[in-house]
Amino acid sequence: MSSVQLLFETAKSARERAYAPYSKFKVGAALRTKGGKIIAGCNVENAAYPEGVCAEGGAISALILAGETEIAEVLVMADAALCTPCGGCRQKIKEFAGDDVKVHIANLDEVKKTFTVAELLPAGFELNEKD
């Protein structure tokens, strides 16, 4: 199974577990770490909107919990034509991924489009200059 297919299946499974009783809009995310681990996240809504968690943010929290700090590839899935990460999640992904890391956007059937982190967030916030 290719890495994209593994990310797709992992995100699909995560999406099915999402907690979205208010919007009914479930999102799943999966990322591959530089160490080769596959980590998933799903959106979790809260009645005190907007205090929920995006799928990408959940996956990144799990990444850190797993002892990893570098993202090699990302896939985000929703039942939508094109559900790209929100601005906050783009910045979260940038914190742990290089500009050339691929972010695949999928509906429930297939990957619809692939971006790099730099394409999604061309002028992201940085505290320190990179060499």
Residues classed as catalytic: 56
Distance CA 35, CA 49 (A): 35
Half-sphere exposure of 12 (CA within 13 A, CB side): 12
Structure token pair of residue 55: 């799928």
